[in-house]
């Protein structure tokens, strides 16, 4: 089963309480980081 998790949904600049856009797609034990915004930590 494919699961998409939104990690951040803010706009143009990172703030202490808001992350830029990023998402993780997970399927079959594998993960793929998508649309990795500035400040996204892995």
φ, ψ dihedrals at 12, nearest 5°: -80, -25
Tokens of 40: 């996204």
Residues 6+ apart with CB under 8 A from 17: none
Statement: residue 38 has pLDDT above 90: no
**What is the average per-residue pLDDT within 8-30?**
82
| 39 in a structural domain | no
Number of domains, the chain: 1
| 7 in a structural domain | yes
| 40 in a structural domain | no
Q: Residue 29: which domain range?
A: 3-34
Task: State the Cα–Cα distance between residues 26 and 38, nearest whole angstrom.
Answer: 21
Tokens of 19: 């992350």
| 18 in a structural domain | yes
**What is the average per-residue pLDDT within 20-27?**
90
């Amino acid at each position: 089963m494919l699961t998409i998790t939104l990690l951040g949904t803010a706009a143009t600049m990172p703030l202490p309480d808001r992350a830029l856009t990023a998402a993780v797609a997970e399927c079959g034990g594998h993960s793929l980081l998508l649309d990795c915004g500035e400040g996204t930590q892995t």
